[in-house]
């Protein structure tokens, strides 16, 4: 059984896609052991509770120092003892300590085709605003392993999505979620649960 901890910051539609895929068997042999949010009012926490999954929040404002916040996040992870950490719209950069501890066992979903529109400052709706500004005709989503850099880890899965002439950042975000994110994130977790993904080198 693969134990996963899911880290979130907002609405949690990707979390919901994982919950649904575990429930209907598209993700095999996997249990979501804890959901961790850095926002106390994130709707993702409610989604977890609705499905009987333990949900906790660890917010930056609870701690005077960033270091203490990072330690609290690590503790929240360690308590859950996950085999895999899934960043599903988690908009905090993880500390080097967490990355070291879970090296090769953290994956992230990013709403563009990396290496386009990624790195520092590219998150959520901003990614789609920049894609529209640049006038790309194809965008998409990427699932990748997390390393010490920002969106630089090994790419596991990508899916392309068409940009339409009349798109707004919101309509494009929705299409990228529906056609790409909600599919490739559960698919990747299932592949990891089946042991069919390995990092070489």
Q: Say whether 28 is catalytic.
A: no
Nearer to ligand GAR, 8 or 19 (CB): 8
Interacting positions 13-32 with ligand GAR (CB under 6 A):
13-14
Contact (CB, 8 A) for 24 and 5:
no
194: nearest Cα among 1, 33, 31: 1
Nearer to ligand GAR, 69 or 117 (CB): 117
Query: Bridge partners of 162?
Result: 138
Nearer to ligand GAR, 78 or 190 (CB): 190
Nearer to ligand GAR, 2 or 35 (CB): 35
Strands (E), the chain: 2-8, 30-37, 55-57, 84-87, 106-110, 138-145, 155-162
Number of residues in the chain: 201
Q: Lay out the sheet containing 30-37: strands in order across.
A: 55-57, 30-37, 2-8, 84-87, 106-110, 138-145, 155-162
- Is there binding between residue 113 and ligand GAR (CB under 6 A)? no
- Is there binding between residue 186 and ligand GAR (CB under 6 A)? no
Catalytic member of 28, 110, 128, 144: 110
Among 3-11, 25-33, 70-78, 192-200, the segment contacting ligand GAR (CB under 6 A) = 3-11
- Is there binding between residue 169 and ligand GAR (CB under 6 A)? no
Least distance (Å) between residue 99 CB and ligand GAR: 15
Q: CA-CA distance, 2 to 74, in Å (whole number)?
A: 19
Catalytic residue IDs: 110
Chain residues that interact with ligand GAR, rule: CB under 6 A: 8, 10-14, 44, 88-89, 109-111, 123-124, 127, 177, 181
């Amino acid at each position: 059984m693969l134990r996963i901890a899911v880290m979130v910051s907002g609405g949690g539609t990707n979390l919901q896609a994982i919950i649904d895929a575990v429930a209907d068997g598209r993700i095999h042999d996997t249990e979501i052991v804890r959901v961790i949010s850095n926002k106390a009012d994130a709707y993702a926490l409610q989604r977890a509770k609705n499905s009987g999954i333990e949900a906790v929040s660890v917010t930056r404002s609870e701690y005077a120092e960033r270091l203490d916040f990072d330690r609290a996040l690590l503790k929240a992870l360690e308590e859950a003892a996950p085999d895999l950490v899934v960043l599903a719209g988690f908009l905090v950069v993880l500390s080097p300590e967490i990355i070291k501890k879970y090296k090769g066992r953290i994956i992230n979903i990013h709403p563009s085709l990396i290496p386009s529109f990624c790195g520092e400052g590219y998150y959520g709706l901003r990614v789609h605003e920049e894609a529209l500004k640049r006038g790309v005709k194809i965008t998409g989503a990427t699932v990748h392993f997390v390393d010490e850099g920002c969106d630089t880890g090994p790419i596991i899965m990508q899916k392309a999505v068409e940009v339409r002439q009349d798109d707004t950042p919101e309509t494009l975000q929705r299409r990228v979620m529906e056609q790409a994110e909600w599919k490739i994130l559960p698919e990747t977790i299932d592949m990891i649960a089946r042991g069919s993904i390995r990092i070489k080198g």
